[in-house]
Structure 1
Amino acid sequence: MRDLGTGFRYLLKGQRWVARHGKQYEFGLIPGLITLVLYVAALVALAIWGEAFVSWSTPFADDWSSPWQGLFRGFLTAVLFALGLLLSVITFTAVTLLIGQPFYESLSEKVDRDVSPDGTVPVSGLPLWRELLISARDSLRIVLRAALWGVLLFALGFIPVLGQTVVPVIGVFVTGFFLTEELTAVALQRRRVELPERLTLLR
């Protein structure tokens, strides 16, 4: 509970900083908007061509009689779209951070400079291209971990009762864990805290 209270106080401090720096808030929204457009486009494409993809990938059902062919392929199309939607939710922040690395690096430096007693900012000492490479590598690792959890939870969701009660709660905790890692990655990476250490720190 002590850690929860500390985290909540930092949340309030962060919100006060955002309230005093409105332009920085708008600046930080740009990567999220870019990612949102890309994800919406991908989901729309999946909705439009998902049925055709399912038909192409299930040639064994071509000779099935009605209504079984339609029911089977309709079910697979719905599952495919639901899985795409789930992966979008889980990976959205990681992809946003990857796209917005230069944006968030700049914002993180400004926050550190404002809250630092002497105005100094921790630096990694690495060239920009190396930081971007590390960020891309770590984001990919997080996306893969999140995707594996997403597929597992999606499959467990079909278990009667547990799939509709316990699994969604676990999904919230898993999503929150990865979201926290992604949101703290920029500041911790600049302090040379590697991904395994960050994951251990958040447990």
Structure 2
Amino acid sequence: MIREFGTGVGALLRGFRMWKSHTGLLALGLIPAFIAWALLLAALIPLVIWLGPITDWMTPFADGWTAPWQGVLRFGLGAVIVVAALALSAAVFTALTLTIGDPFYQRIWRGIERSLGEEPTGETGFWSTVGEGVRLVVLGILVALLTLLIGFVPVVGGIAASIIGILLNGRLLARELTGRAFDARGLTGYSRSGMLRAGRARVIGFGVATQLCFLVPFGAIVTMPAAVAGSTLLAHDLLRRATPGAPQSVSEPAPPPPPPGHPRA
């Protein structure tokens, strides 16, 4: 289980390594990622600013409590709200970025497929991307609400909410990001879900690592193109795993050919 989780984290790291060998290709994904990040930041800043009044409004029963219990309750509630908001923001960021930058991420995905010796022929389609994005946001809202409810559990609620929220949201992110490779091969939702379940620890490892990178300042912008590349590798791993006798992981993608006149040419 731990080894499989680490393999999923490794898929994202392999995606990051492609910044060196496929710099121009991955750079295409920076602009839509920045736009989505800026929009989400504009929504999160007011939440943080008004967090105090929000927690006061949600806990009128604590107005007469003595210190320090009133402060402890409202601080804990504020922390849970922030955790839930971050869990939702990861889903919204992914859906929004993939929708805004669909042509760019299509090129990244296809470039990685070709570097793995594949020639993708299927099309995911813009409206398919929008539909998957809406689905991801709806599920992200449910995860955020669950996180919020767990946060009210005394003593361990905050820690439990953070861990469960990251795990559930990580799986959602991994499912969404691997969608292009699966959809292009005509796999049904049932087949796709089966492969994701078979490699659950690997899928969660990839999704959790991606979400944690999103939480680093400006990390989401650089991570998103690498996550698209890494998710393509993860999808290939899962596809090969589902084929009897196939190797468990794909090899490192070959770098793109050098331009004419380059010393390597």
Q: TM-score, normalised by structure 1?
A: 0.71
Number of the residue aligned with 2:260: none
- Secondary structure of 2:164 counterpart: helix
Distance 1:123 1:15, change over 3 A: same
- Structure 1 residue 165: Cα displacement: 3.3
Distance in 1 (CA, whole Å) between partners of 2:151 and 2:80 is 14
Contact 1:138 1:195 in 2 (8 A): no
Number of the residue aligned with 2:187: 193
Distance 1:202 1:39, change over 3 A: same
Q: Name the stretch that deviates more: 141-150 or 159-168.
A: 159-168
- Secondary structure of 2:187 counterpart: coil
Matched, 1:178 2:172: yes
- Structure 1 residue 105: Cα displacement: 0.6
**Where do 1:1-203 residues align within 5 Å?**
1=1, 3-4=4-5, 7=8, 10-46=11-47, 82=82, 83-116=84-117, 120-125=118-123, 131-203=125-197
Distance 1:124 1:47, change over 3 A: same
Q: TM-score, normalised by structure 2?
A: 0.56
Distance 1:11 1:145, change over 3 A: closer
Which residue identity is paired with 1:104?
Y
Distance 1:14 1:79, change over 3 A: closer
Which residue identity is paired with 1:102?
P
Unaligned stretches of 5+ in structure 1? 62-66
Larger helix percent: 1
- Runs of 4+ residues over 6 Å off in structure 1: 48-54
Contact 2:150 2:157 in 1 (8 A): yes
Q: Name the stretch that deviates more: 145-154 or 83-92.
A: 83-92
Query: Percent same amino acid among aligned pairs?
Result: 32
Distance 1:114 1:99, change over 3 A: same
Contact 1:124 1:192 in 2 (8 A): yes
- Secondary structure of 1:158 counterpart: coil
- Secondary structure of 2:136 counterpart: helix
- Structure 1 residue 32: Cα displacement: 1.3
Query: In the TM superposition, what whole-angstrom CA distance separates every residue of 1:177-202 from its partner, at most 9, and x where no partner exists?
Result: 11211221222222223445433322
Distance in 2 (CA, whole Å) between partners of 1:36 and 1:125 is 27
Contact 1:124 1:189 in 2 (8 A): yes
Query: In the TM superposition, what whole-angstrom CA distance separates every residue of 1:24-76 from its partner, at most 9, and x where no partner exists?
Result: 2322222211111111112234456889999xx99xx9xxxxx67xx9xxx6x
Unaligned stretches of 5+ in structure 2? 65-69, 198-265
